[in-house]
């Protein structure tokens, strides 16, 4: 799939949704075309990633923006770190 910048909507990187397990690093994202350098530092946290076009974080800066990525197929949820599961306590029995 293609990662798009939430702020400038440019296509930035190619990635496999199966790799979206926190903590995300630049290594999850490859170049749009084989043979080009990766768009982000593979060893850096995705928090440090910057859109090559507008120089902002590809997910934007809204408080809940880190819960999803913009892709060519629309918003894609990112797996939640353990600490975030606490916020959405499941109180219903038998709920999925």
Compute the half-sphere exposure of residue 63: CA atoms within 13 Å on the CB side of its CA: 1
> Least distance (Å) from Zn ion to the CB of residue 44?
17
Question: Is the Cβ of residue 75 or residue 79 nearer to Zn ion in the bound state?
Answer: 75
> Least distance (Å) from Zn ion to the CB of residue 9?
7
Question: Is the Cβ of residue 11 or residue 80 nearer to Zn ion in the bound state?
Answer: 11
Q: How distant is the alpha carbon of residue 77 from its chain centre?
A: 8
> Binding residues for Zn ion, per CB under 5 A?
5, 7-8, 51, 53-54
Question: Is the Cβ of residue 6 or residue 20 nearer to Zn ion in the bound state?
Answer: 6
Contact predicate 14/2, CB 8 Å: yes
Contact predicate 54/5, CB 8 Å: yes
């Amino acid at each position: 799939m293609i990662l798009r910048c939430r702020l400038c909507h440019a296509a930035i990187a190619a990635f496999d949704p199966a790799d979206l397990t926190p903590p995300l690093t630049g290594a999850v994202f490859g170049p749009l075309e084989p043979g080009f350098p990766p768009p982000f530092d593979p060893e850096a946290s995705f928090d440090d990633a910057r859109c090559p076009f507008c120089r902002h974080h590809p997910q934007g800066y809204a408080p809940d923006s880190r819960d999803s990525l913009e892709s060519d197929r629309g918003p894609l949820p990112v797996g939640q770190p353990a600490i975030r599961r606490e916020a959405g306590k499941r109180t219903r029995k038998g709920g999925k």
